[in-house]
Amino acid sequence: MQVIAMAAPPFMHAEKPQAKPAAGATAAWERPSPPRQWIHTASRGTLVPMANNAEEIKKFLRARRDAVRPSQVGLANYPGRRVPGLRREEVAQLAGVSVDYYTRLEQGRLTSASEGVILSIAEALQLTQAETQYLRDLLRPQPRRTAEVAPPQQVRPDLLRMLNGLHDQPAFVLGRRNEVLASNDLLDALFTPFNHRPANERNLLRWMLLDPAARSLYLDWAQITSEVVGVLRAEAGRNPNDPQIAEFVAELRAISPEFRTWWAERTVVERTWGTKRFNHPVVGRLDITYEALSLPGDPDQILFVYAGKTDDDLGKLRILASWYAQSTPRPATAGNDSARPDGPAASPTPRSI
C-alpha cells in the first residue's frame, strides 16, 4: 500500500492557550441563589459551591415543559395560549398527580419523589431515557457530607494493550468529565494527538469547543458537540457534588458562547452508538460508525471504538494510519523507547488525568 507523505495539517497542532475564567465567575453548574452552600475540596484547599438541586429541578422541569407542544400529548392547541408548551395543570393531569404537588415539585419546594411519580412525570413530559435518569438523579436524596476531589482515573494495563492492538479502528477511553484517559495512534491521527498534549488539555469536549480544527473536522459539528454537552449534563446529574465537574462547567461557560447556549437548554444525552461524518485534511470525507461501551469495574470510564462504515472508509483509515506513523515523531523518555504505552522497552502503564 502506498503511503501518502504530507505536511502535518492544522489539526495536529495544539490549540492556543485559552483565556482563564473571568474573576468572580461562579464555579458551579449555574449561579446558585443565595445563600450559597460551600464544600471544601480538601486535596486542593479551595471552596466550590455545591450543586443546587432544587434550582436545577425547577429549571429542568420548566425547560422540558416548554418543549412539549399540546398536540404532542393529545391536547387542543387553542389560540391565545400564553405558554410555549404545556401548563403546569396539564402536566399534573397527564401525570396523575395534583396540581399543587406538581407545582411544588417544579418550584423546587420538593426535592425527592417516588419512582412511580418520576416515571409518570417523565411520560407526561415525553422525556427520553437519558432525561428520565437525569430527573431521577436530581430527585435522589443527597447525603449531607463534605465532597472531595475524586482520585485520578487510571486505565487498566490490559485495556491499554487492547487499544494499541486495534490498528484499523480508532479507539479511546473517556473519563467522567470527557477527559481522554487513553487513545490509540489511529484516534490521535483522526482527531488530534491527545497523547502529546499536556494532561490538562486532554479533554474531548474542550477540544471540540475551542480548537478551530475540530469545527472543520466534524461535518455536523454543532449537532455532535451539543450532544457531548448533553453527556456532560448527565454526568453532572450523577455526580452533583463533584467540584471538578463544577469547575469544568464554569470554565467552559466563561470562554465558550456555544457551550453557554447548549448548557442552558438542559438537553441530556447518554452515549450509545451511531455514525459520525468527518472531513479529514489528509484523507477527505470519512463516515465512521461507533460504539460506546461501559467498562465493568470502571463505571466512570467509557470505551469508544470507531470503524469505517464502508470498505472505502476502512481503506482511508488504513491510509491515515500509515501517514500518521510516517509523519509523527515519538519523543523518547528515560528508560523507554516511546512515550506511548506500547513502547517496546516497557509494558503498558496506565495514563491518568
Is residue 8 assigned to a domain?
no
Residues 173 and 272 in one domain: yes
CA distance to 137, 231, 241, 259, per residue, from 238 (Å): 6, 11, 9, 20
Residues 321 and 209 in one domain: yes
Q: Residue 188 corresponds to which amino acid?
A: D
The confidence score (pLDDT) of residue 330 equals: 61
Q: Which segments of the chain have a pLDDT < 50? A: 1-51, 333-353
Residues 163 and 305 in one domain: yes
Q: Which domain holds residue 130?
A: 53-138
Distance (Å, rounded) from C-alpha 347 to C-alpha 268?
Answer: 39
pLDDT in tens, 57-103: 999 999 999 999 888 888 877 777 777 889 999 999 999 999 999 99
Residue that is last in its domain, among 103, 138, 173 = 138
Residues 261 and 175 in one domain: yes
The confidence score (pLDDT) of residue 271 equals: 82
Residues 170 and 311 in one domain: yes
**Percent share of the chain, pLDDT over 90:** 55
Residues 303 and 190 in one domain: yes
pLDDT in tens, 264-316: 999 999 888 999 999 999 999 999 999 999 888 887 899 999 999 999 999 99
Distance (Å, rounded) from C-alpha 352 to C-alpha 78?
Answer: 57
Residues 77 and 163 in one domain: no
The confidence score (pLDDT) of residue 323 equals: 94
H helix or E strand, kind and range, residue 101:
helix 99-106
Nearest partner of 331 among 165, 189, 192, 195, judged by Cα: 195
Residue that is last in its domain, among 90, 112, 138 = 138
Q: What pTM did the predictor assign?
A: 0.72
